[in-house]
Amino acid sequence: MLAPAAAILIGLITGAVVALSVEWLELWLGIDDPGGAVSAHAVAGVWGLFAAGVFARTGSPTAPGQWLAQIVGIATLIGFVLPMTFALNWLLNRILPYRVDSDGEGQGMDLHELGAGAYPEFMVHSDEFFQR
């Protein structure tokens, strides 16, 4: 159980951690994560798990074991779930590739896959853009 002030502090730190993580992943590591999903879910999630154990109320009977439980959870996620998910996605990508061909990228997935524009009234470029 967290005190309200601790929850606010954890949330404020999380906001800073996510913003810094997005910049770090994009600029320093060159990882393309346009939606910030890795920062919001992985980085902020691990921080949230860790912070819940660190800031647990010491007056409750479960607080001393809470920190250890959170560390075990983080270790399970990083040591088992992450490698397993990566391996299964790698295998699935070998069987059924995720990447669309270059024509689909240039045309847009709505036209390439569905044959119609998702937003026909919204045009940001002309046909000359695609001439090679």
Instruction: For residues 19-45, give the mean pLDDT.
Output: 88
| 38-89 per-position pLDDT tens digit | 899 999 999 999 998 888 876 666 567 788 889 999 999 999 999 999 999 9
Q: For CA atoms 66, 71, 22, 99, give the dihedral sign.
A: negative
Element (H, E) at 87: helix 82-95
pTM exceeds 0.85, yes or no: no
Q: Euclidean distance between the first and final Cα of the chain, in Å?
A: 60
**pLDDT tier at 100 (50, 70, 90 boundaries)?**
confident
9-27: average pLDDT = 92
Pair 62, 83: CB distance under 8 Å: no
Q: Residue 94 — left, alpha, or beta (φ > 0 → left; ψ -120 to 50 → alpha)?
A: alpha
